[in-house]
Each structure stands twice: as structure tokens, then as C-alpha cells.
Chain A
Amino acid sequence: MSVLPYVVAAWLFVIGLYGIVTSRHLVHLAVCLTVVQSSTYLVLLSSGYVRHGSAPIYADIPPVTTAVDPVVQALTLTDIVVESTITALVLALAVQAMKRFGSVDPNFLRQLRG
């Protein structure tokens, strides 16, 4: 039971990577990239989890309560922001690829450049 979060993270990583490798569409590729990145959230959050710990919000719990690690949660927030900007960039590049080459298939783009 206690390895389940890590197994899920590994599964998300592998299945996202598989999607990227076999992708035939740049938008599909961007979505697969977000799947890979979501595995990093899971690793970060589950490595900072403390058994029976509450959320690190001390607004209405006594200050001595055991809480999970706030640092990895802050890092996950950073991760999410970076992911959303990367997705926007990749999608913008996909729009330009469609306009320039008339295709969003990564394989086709490689042939054009060579």
C-alpha cells in the first residue's frame, strides 16, 4: 500500500513518455508532456507526506499539529506554473508549425527540415 503513490508516478511517467515517443500530432504531444510532468507532482507530494499529518495551513488548527512538508508543496506549485507556461509555448509552436509546414505531425516536420 505504501508504495502505491510511487507506482502511480512511475506509471504516469512511462505512459506519458510512450505517448510522446509514438505521438503523431503536436497537440497530442503537448498533452503527453503534461502527463509526464504530473508524475513529478506525485513524486514531490508523496515524498513530503507525513503519516496522519494535516495540511500545512495553521489557520484553524493548533500550532503543534503534525503537518506535511510545506516545501515540496511549494515546489509542486512552481512545477505547475512551469508546466502551464511550457504547454502554452509548445502549443504556440504547434500553431506556427501548422502555418509554416501545413502539418502538425512531428515525423513530417523532421523530413521537411532535412
Chain B
Amino acid sequence: MADWIVFWVIAPVSIASAVAMILAKNAVHSALLLIVNFFTLAVFFLILGSPFLFVVQIIVYAGAIMVLFLFVIMLLGVDERESLRERILGQRWLALLLGAGLVVEVALAVRVGVGFGHGGLPDFTRVNRGGNVQALARVLFNSYFFPFEVTSILLIVAAIGAMLHGRRRIGDEETIDAPIDERMDEPGPEPVPAAGPAEATP
């Protein structure tokens, strides 16, 4: 019963924050709403018998990742309100249609596949034998140790990437030693025509 109440309290908050996130005009508001959303999801992990993911979700997602987002948003300037005017006519409706279609499709699949009728929340004592963290560690370092190692490559790549693109390079802005034909790439107020390099040359 308790989890039932939790679900019906948290789920609307979660969906409302998600919808508000994608509709908010201000990027900072969006980020904050996403944090709210991540907190609600963490609660779901808790009632679904995974206290470890609950903690990880809050520390890594709501904590680290969202702080990174906020940091970048602040870095790039918050005053710049995004105009919600669309360039491609009807794109918004198409997006809405696609989103709604996906919900209906999955709901149908779930309806047919699992059925809305049966099965409550199971108890987790057997699965989480000796504690969720211990159980998770047991499988993570046994059956899943190879994928676990693969994630290390992923993180190395991410670290290289952040260094590669985030670092300000000497000579990045200067075009003295840059070849003549790179001149088009100087940041300028006017967009370079897409037609190609030939026209851009005076």
C-alpha cells in the first residue's frame, strides 16, 4: 500500500517536471526541473528494491551530471532566452505526434504483453540477499566484469574528449600560422554561406 501511495504521489510530480523541463523558456529552469525529475526517479529506484541505484542516481545524476549542465549553461550565458518560434513549420506538431505515438505504441505493447491486471510488487529479500550493494557487487564483478572493464575505455574516451575540445589552445584564434584557406573559419558575425569554399573567397 505504501508503495502505491508513493507511486501516485511521485509519478505526477515526475511527469510534470519532465514536461515543464522541455517547455521551460529559461535553460536554468529546465536544468533545475530536470534535477527534480531525477530525484523522483531515484525514489522509484528505492521502491523498486534498489537502494544503491537510488544513491547513485542522486549523487551522480542529480549531483554531478546536472551540476555540469548548470555550469555550462552559466558559462554560455543565461540571459539568452531561447525563442520558441519554430523555423521548420509544423516541426513541433510532428514532434508531439511522434512522442504521443510512441506512448500509445508502448502502452499497447505493454497492455497486450504484460496486461494491466496482475502482479504486484514482489519482495526483494531473495534477490537482494545480503544487501542490495553486496548483491550488485557480486554480479558486477562476476558475470558483468567484462562490460565493467569496457566502461573504463568509455570513460578514458570521455576524458580525452573533454580535454580535446574543452581546452583553449594557443594559436586557436590566431590565423597567422593558419593556412590561407582556413580563413573562412574565423568566427564572424556573418554566417559563411553553405554553398562552399569557392564563393567564400574574395
Whether chains A and B associate is no
Chain B residues engaging chain A, CB cutoff 8 angstroms: none
